[in-house]
Structure 1
Amino acid sequence: MVRLLAGLLVLLLVASIVGYFWINGRLAANDKVLADYEGRRDDTAGTNWLLVGSDSRKGLSRADRNRLATGRAAGQRTDTMMLLHIPDDGRPVLVSLPRDSYVPIHNKGRNKLNAAYAFGGAPLLARTVEEVTGLRIDHYMEVGFAGFVDIVDAVGGVNICVKQPLKDPKAGINLKKGCQDMDGGTALGYVRTRVTGGLPDLDRAQRQRQFFAAVVKKASSPGTLINPFRMVPLATSATDAVVVDGGTSAFNLLSLGLAMGGNPITTSVPVTPANVPGVGSVLQWQRESALRMFNALAEGKPVPKDVLNSGG
């Protein structure tokens, strides 16, 4: 029996090592995303991830676009942006960065945050987030529509509690109130819809945080990690779907999953709606509250509760 157990442990160890190098070899990396620039801040406390969901239709057939109601827009824009702060000690913090945030962009003046990606891709977006938050970004991960759907389906769907009925033909959903299992296509519509609330982008950001926490928690659960019929399709889908910075490895992705499974605090940057001539409707950051939030993260301190509450 002892020999059998020892043999199994060796087999698992070898499989883990082989799997690590296999996943690393498949990861698509962009070495320019977190490149240094003049005046870049030195390292800040903890580990910071910039998580980006783009509206890229790459990999979707015409039938897929019709089924998922993604439309036919060309090009690629940032549909979701979140900052995950993993402290050296304590609970992680997941902060939504609304795409309509009105911020300064290097050499481009002030504009909506998602315009940074349109102007200069992932490198300019990452630099913009660093400069407006005062945090140094350690890792970057981006996923498009097709990858989003594949990852959700690879983990067997996710259970999401819907606060109110949601019907949106543009997003391809007709959901009842209550907790329910969602496949990749339904989950995509759920996080994309803008039909609720007086501030649709803030409501959507809350749903995006809810979904992201649920899918990463399930992906990093023992039921997924030790089940080869789940783990292999997930690893294949994830490595096909995501783009990371050049310094991110499979080990870092596992750390990300473990952090999201640790009951993170979820919030959004405190904002105030405004209208800017030539730009349109934007969200102005509440400067004092935002500074208190990001300064606390940079210094490795808990974020003040009143700032979290104002963030939603």
Structure 2
Amino acid sequence: MLMPAPRRRRRCPRLRRVLVVVTVCLMVPVLLSLGFALYLQHRLTSQIDRIDGVFAAGPGERPERASGAAADAVNILLLGTDGPSAQWKRGAQRSDAIMILHIDADRRGASVVSIPRDSWVTIPGHGPAKINAAFSYGGPALAVRTIENVTDLRIDHLAVVDWSGFRELTDALGGVTLDVPETVHDSYRDITWTAGRHTMNGDEALDYVGQRAGLPGGDFDRIHRQQHFLSTLLDETLTQELVREPRHAYRILDILTTNLSVDSDWSVGQMRSLLLSLRHLRSAGIGYLTVPVKGTGMEGSQSVVHLDRSGGEELWSAVRDDAVAEWLAANPDSRTPAIVD
């Protein structure tokens, strides 16, 4: 006896249409968000100036890469200038701030080591001079080569920041509040900073961190001000609700990228991966210090800073070994004093 074939259940056309509509409604915002994210990434990264030929030294002319557990650490040379580095011309610019950002291999900590711009060093091909003259003589490439010669530390990447970007960022954050430890007068700008807390706008903040005349410690006090300003700016950027509001976050990124130049070897993918790996890093995990110095002196008519070669070798060895925290524990006086809440 033949059994009747089972009847196929007909899908409801209406249900199918509903499923299609729901799927489309769910996919459209996802695709739009993805498209916007890709557009945003392209727009922001396209604003970053690229510097060619930064690591021009030949094989064997550069320090060796770190090995072992320290191999994943990253060293970035940070230079602050008063103009776009992509427009560098011989003799037109000197690096106003020189720092090495060391990012720990585990990405849980970082250190910012400042080098006084008046440090008396040997600049390859030019002889003894102030270290900030390297940028003027030969641009970013010579600046990197000079730093590597002085520190015997391999620089992985270069980032040059136009100081005007900090002015815009400070204003975008509504100002920064800094503690002025003692009343000082800036005779160059004819500004008196009274002791106490000051909420500064962008112009005021740059005037404050740029002061040298009238500071008891001269350029060393200036370095401390720069470090405290950067630390406070980072705190404000990370803790304010601005970073959770897309419109304001875009504004911050827009300011940073339009005032930033990096080596052309640093790809967008590498930058993105590095930023993602730092998602657990907090401002409290960043230490600020200054390279050991012997003191100041004169070279001809120039007032210069003489570096402590022995102390410096110990510090740079600690950086190479990814052991800056241990070095700081043994040399607490090298840490920048905390004068900013």
TM-score normalised according to structure 1 size? 0.82
Aligned position for 2:6: none
> What's the CA shift for 1:270?
0.9
Aligned position for 1:43: 65
1:77 aligns to what SS in structure 2?
coil
**Matched length:** 296
**Residue type of the partner of 2:58?**
Y
Are 1:294 and 2:312 counterparts?
no
> What's the CA shift for 1:41?
1.6
- Greater Cα offset, 174-183 or 83-92: 174-183
User: Which of 55, 68, 73 does residue 34 from structure 1 map onto?
Assistant: 55
Residues 92/208 of structure 1: CA separation in 2 closer, same or farther (3 Å cut) = same
Deviations along 1:47-77, one digit per CA (max 9) or x if unpaired, are: 111111113399xxxxxxxxxxxxxxx9322
Aligned position for 1:263: 285
Aligned position for 2:12: none
- Matches of residues 1-312 of structure 1 in structure 2 within 5 Å? 14-38=35-59, 39-44=61-66, 45=70, 46-56=73-83, 75-89=92-106, 90-168=108-186, 170-171=188-189, 173-221=191-239, 223-248=241-266, 249=268, 251=272, 254=275, 259=281, 261-278=283-300, 280-301=302-323, 302-304=325-327, 305-310=329-334, 312=336
Residues 236/196 of structure 1: CA separation in 2 closer, same or farther (3 Å cut) = same
Residues 268/256 of structure 1: CA separation in 2 closer, same or farther (3 Å cut) = farther
Residues 228/127 of structure 1: CA separation in 2 closer, same or farther (3 Å cut) = same
**Residue type of the partner of 1:160?**
L
> What's the CA shift for 1:170?
2.8
Aligned position for 2:88: none
**Residue type of the partner of 1:49?**
I
- Greater Cα offset, 297-306 or 237-246: 297-306
Q: Answer 1 or 2: higher relative contact order, Cα 8 Å, separation at least 6.
A: 1
Unaligned 5+ runs, structure 1 = 59-73
In 1, the alpha carbon distance for the partners of 2:183 and 2:253 equals: 33
RMSD across aligned positions (CA): 3.0
- Greater Cα offset, 195-204 or 169-178: 169-178
Contact 2:211 2:222 in 1 (8 A): yes
- Greater Cα offset, 255-264 or 144-153: 255-264
Larger CA Rg, structure 1 vs 2: 2
In 2, the alpha carbon distance for the partners of 1:8 and 1:234 equals: 24
> What's the CA shift for 1:14?
4.9
> What's the CA shift for 1:273?
2.2
> What's the CA shift for 1:24?
1.2
Contact 1:102 1:285 in 2 (8 A): yes
Contact 1:155 1:230 in 2 (8 A): no
Unaligned 5+ runs, structure 2 = 1-22, 86-90, 337-341
Residues 220/80 of structure 1: CA separation in 2 closer, same or farther (3 Å cut) = same
Residues 170/56 of structure 1: CA separation in 2 closer, same or farther (3 Å cut) = farther
In 2, the alpha carbon distance for the partners of 1:272 and 1:18 equals: 51
> What's the CA shift for 1:165?
2.5
Residues 260/76 of structure 1: CA separation in 2 closer, same or farther (3 Å cut) = farther
1:164 aligns to what SS in structure 2?
coil
In 2, the alpha carbon distance for the partners of 1:196 and 1:252 equals: 43
1:219 aligns to what SS in structure 2?
helix
In 2, the alpha carbon distance for the partners of 1:95 and 1:23 equals: 28
**Residue type of the partner of 1:188?**
L
